[in-house]
Amino acid sequence: MPPPRKRATVHDIAAAAGVSRGTVSRVLNGGYVSAEARAAIEAAITEVGYVPNTAARTLKMRRSQAVGFVALEPHSLFLDDPNIGAIMLGANAALSLADHQMVSLVVESARDTERVGRYLSGGFVDGAIVVSARTHDPIIKVISDLRLPAAFVGHPPDLDQRIPYVGIDNAGSARAVTERLLATGRRRVGMIAAALDRDSGIDRLAGFRAALGDAFDGDLVAEVPHYDYGSGIKGMRLLLDREPAIDGVFAASDAIAAGALETLREAGRSVPGDVGLVGFDDSTWAVRTQPPLSTVHQPAKQIGTVAAQLILRQLRGEQLDPGGQLLPTPIVWRDSA
118 binds a second copy (CB under 8 A): yes
- Which of the residues 218 through 257 are near a second copy (CB under 8 A)? 229
Closest distance to a second copy from the beta carbon of 218 (Å) = 30
- Which of the residues 62 through 81 are near a second copy (CB under 8 A)? 62, 64, 66, 69, 74-75, 77-80
35: Cβ contacts below 8 Å, ≥ 6 apart: none
Shorter beta-carbon distance to a second copy: residue 34 or 54: 54
Contact track, a second copy, 197-216, x by CB under 8 A: --------------------
136 binds a second copy (CB under 8 A): no
Closest distance to a second copy from the beta carbon of 16 (Å) = 15
141 binds a second copy (CB under 8 A): no
Count of positions on this chain that bind a second copy (CB under 8 A): 77
103 binds a second copy (CB under 8 A): yes
Q: Applying CB under 8 A, which of residues 188, 262, 291, 326 lies at the interface with a second copy?
A: 262
Closest distance to a second copy from the beta carbon of 211 (Å) = 29
**Among 141-149, 245-253, 267-275, 328-336, which window interacts with a second copy (CB under 8 A)?**
141-149
Contact track, a second copy, 23-62, x by CB under 8 A: --------------------------x-x-xxxx-xx--x
152 binds a second copy (CB under 8 A): no
149 binds a second copy (CB under 8 A): yes
- Which of the residues 287 through 306 are near a second copy (CB under 8 A)? 288, 290
